[in-house]
Amino acid sequence: MGKNIDYMMELVNEYLSGKTPRHIFELDFQAEILDRYEKMAREDRDYAEYFYDMLSEYGVDVGDGLSDAEFKQLIRKQYKKVKDIAKGDLW
C-alpha cells in the first residue's frame, strides 16, 4: 500500500493495541481521514473507498452511544475486514 494508507492503518492499529485512548483516536482519525483521503485515493482508489466506508462510515461515525468495549469491538471487526481486503481474501 501507499504511505497514507499505511499511516491510517497504523493509526487504527495503535488504538486497537491500547497505545491510543478512544477519545484521542476518534479525534485523530477524523482529522487524518479528512487530510489524507484524497492522497489515499491516488494510492489505491478502491481500497481507500473501502477503508473509508468500513472504518469511517460504519466504524467511527456510528460509535456514539457505544461503550468503550463495544466501540473497540466494532473498530476491530471493521479493521479486520479492511485488512482481509489488503491480503486479497475478499476481492
Q: Using the predicted structure, report yes or no on whether residue 1 has a pLDDT greater than 90.
A: no
pLDDT in tens, 12-66: 999 999 999 999 999 999 999 999 999 999 999 999 999 999 999 999 999 999 9
Give the pLDDT confidence of 52-87 residue by residue, as tens digits: 999 999 999 999 999 999 999 999 999 999 999 877
Supply the pLDDT for residue 90: 47
pLDDT value of residue 91: 44
Instruction: Give the burial class of 65: count Cβ atoms within 10 A of its Cβ; 0-12 exposed, 13-18 middle, 19 or more buried.
Output: exposed
- Other Cβ atoms within 10 Å of 24 Cβ, number: 12
For the entire predicted model, the pTM comes to 0.91
